[in-house]
A and B are shown apart, each in its own frame.
Chain A
């Protein structure tokens, strides 16, 4: 075996109250793809930020070609030949493709000005090299789809002659055909001797493209090896750290009659033919890849995304929520995935966050009654076992898990019929995860209906009564979560391989 191109040794990175990376290691080899696998919050994105010079690790070594290096800025990463292609491709929408590729290292004329002609020629060359003949070098980036933006990012990596290419969930929003194109490109990069770090949730892709793997869990590396030899079940075991189902609450609730019925809901670009039912006292899981359109459907039910056709029937009444206020009025509430930007108002006190949608109840003739707000906030935060030093503390000072409790408390105070949780445990620690799961079980015991969107298979299988599987904006299948359903079966269904799914 040749020496590794890049070695990370005992890297530790901590933030106030959280150790994001705890003595992790990673080896990348030239001409090989290493898959980095882990649940959300396992430390993958922190690792990417360490490698790209956004975060400086507290301790540990980064060694490239046997030489220790220090990456303390984006420029250092650039000098070390590291280039990253991010989940949400971070490039410049208003600038041309050529300029996106060469920003920061544009070819110059002898007067020191940018040589646009040479830049365009070189950009054309790089694009052709990676097989992106269809992308014009003068096109504005905003006119490209996400797949083509990825190609531009790859071209940028090629243009700085990066020897280490990081791909952070590059397939998240791509169609099958586009994923195939990307894989062809990765093969090309491999053949040129690049060391590639490939971050993905999707096992079919990992087995398809990667040569080796490393699994992270809760900021630690829990295993690595080479790929075709290691079975998927073993990797899942490493990822989750336990057999699936183990710690999920057992439920005794009775699923009742249909409460919410969605008929043929359509959106011009985001989803189509969405029909499903939600029963009283049921947890309905929504599973699919990131970007499968699950959140968009949920936001349509919550009145944020406008639908083009279809009906929503709640308790026998057809409703058409035009805004979240309408949806809340009807009894549908939504715990968003983006907790910090859409869920809690971080610079406002806990009690005001909780009382916000219930102000009508706590006030008298539109005049605030602070004491009642405190009472309401205390009641629901206590039920959720919130940890905080006072109810006047700003929500932003709490941990992710406790912020999530505030969002849930806010909604429970409105006495909803349906509560939609979008990635409810994303980025929160194991302890709080269990608390959120137990609380969901408690909610359905009390007769509420829950829709849970999640990309975490253990969570979906551990919590749901039934599972709706979505792919590319459509429902592929609705399955009963019984003993016969295995994680492997779910992955097959979710990957959208039609002969199995049909």
Chain B
């Protein structure tokens, strides 16, 4: 193996062979950033309306809620688990806020209800996966139906409306000029998740579990506890997204946010998170969110329907994952 030719004096083992700057420049997020800039450029050339501040601000609304969930989902997938139920959590959370509204809840109570319902749903998933040892991919398909199903039971074909005016701020308000509350919240959360995954002991544990849960357990990492926390966080972020979305739409229907789970997971995988766990970065997922937002918005300006954008994303998703394997196969052949 490769350690045979190496220096015999162990004291000479350097920390790294390449500079950190070089590592960063060669990384997946850097590549994504280039792609994002190219798309930005293409958009501004293609449509004169693109570079208007208000247009760009509007563009953020179509991805921030999904991107907020993607932050927590990224950590969950790095740890080797997955949560398909996030759109179901949005539905039940939004519905519960609607129920609270019927009992005359004020904005503060609505937010508290939203956050706690999201958290409870996440914890429910967490218990099923970590205490009963069930595979998360099927368990959360089940809870997805269950959560949204409860919304359907409560609402049927009706909807909740008439949320208080102050509640509308979360999804429609601007902090300053064109800077929306949603967008700022997303950036703050992104920084928070970046620190959590890349700068804390907890984040290191998440990576270790994703690489080898057994070795992690054997090294003293409390694997079940970490995974439980990640499910709770994902539920909580789905709760946050539910608050923003409900506020933005001003109403709750049981079909709210349907199909979001797959878009969120696409965002995470496109962001360079290994679907099998063990590697990935929050930066990558944030940039992937911007790419998805820019593509949707740019094509929207050109009157290209949203569904074409999903085709492009699907191709992008497969290509970026296939590319490394294809390249190495090509290299080996030479």
Contacts and interface: CB of A to CB of B under 8 A. Distances in A.
Q: Do any beta carbons of A and B sit within 8 angstroms of each other in the complex? A: yes
Interface of A: 16-18, 302, 304, 323-325, 327-329, 334, 336, 341-348, 351-352, 356-357, 359-360, 363, 366-368, 374, 378, 381-382, 384-393, 397-399, 402, 410
Contacts of A386: 10, 13
28 contacts: A323-B217, A324-B219, A328-B220, A341-B214, A342-B215, A344-B215, A345-B211, A345-B215, A346-B211, A347-B279, A348-B207, A348-B211, A351-B15, A352-B208, A356-B208, A356-B216, A356-B220, A359-B205, A366-B200, A368-B200, A368-B204, A382-B11, A386-B10, A387-B6, A388-B6, A389-B6, A390-B17, A392-B17
A352 B204 contact: yes
User: Which one of B199, B202, B220, B221 has the greatest number of beta carbons of chain A within 10 Å?
Assistant: B220
B2 A325 contact: no
B192 to A, nearest CB: 13
Given A366-B202, A368-B204, A390-B15, A18 B1 contact: yes
B217 A387 contact: no
A387 B219 CA distance: 22
Given A346-B212, A348-B208, A392 B10 contact: no
B218 interface: yes
Contact of B4 (A17, A327, A336, A374): A17
Contacts of B3: 387-389, 397-399, 402
Contact of A304 (B2, B195, B199, B218): B218
Nearest to A299: B218
B16 interface: yes
A347 B216 CA distance: 12
Contacts, number: 127
B324 interface: no
Contacts of B212: 341, 345-347
Contacts of B195: 367
Given A17-B4, A347-B278, A388 B207 contact: no
A17 to B, nearest CB: 4
Contact of B215 (A329, A341, A359, A392): A341
Contacts of B217: 304, 323-324
A16 B15 CA distance: 25
A22 B48 CA distance: 72
Contact of B220 (A324, A385, A397): A324
Interface of B: 1-4, 6-8, 10-11, 13-17, 195, 199-205, 207-208, 211-212, 214-222, 278-279
B157 to A, nearest CB: 45
Closest 4 CB pairs of A and B: A17-B1, A392-B16, A325-B220, A328-B220
A343 B215 contact: yes
B10 A410 contact: no
Contact of A387 (B8, B214, B216): B8
Contacts of B205: 359
B41 to A, nearest CB: 35
B227 to A, nearest CB: 14
B130 to A, nearest CB: 13
B218 A382 contact: no
Given A345-B212, A378-B13, A392-B16, A16 B1 contact: yes
B1 A399 contact: yes
A401 to B, nearest CB: 9
A392 B15 contact: yes
Interface centre among B1, B211, B279 (most CB of A within 10 A): B1
Contacts of A399: 1, 3-4
A367 B6 contact: no
Contacts of A410: 219
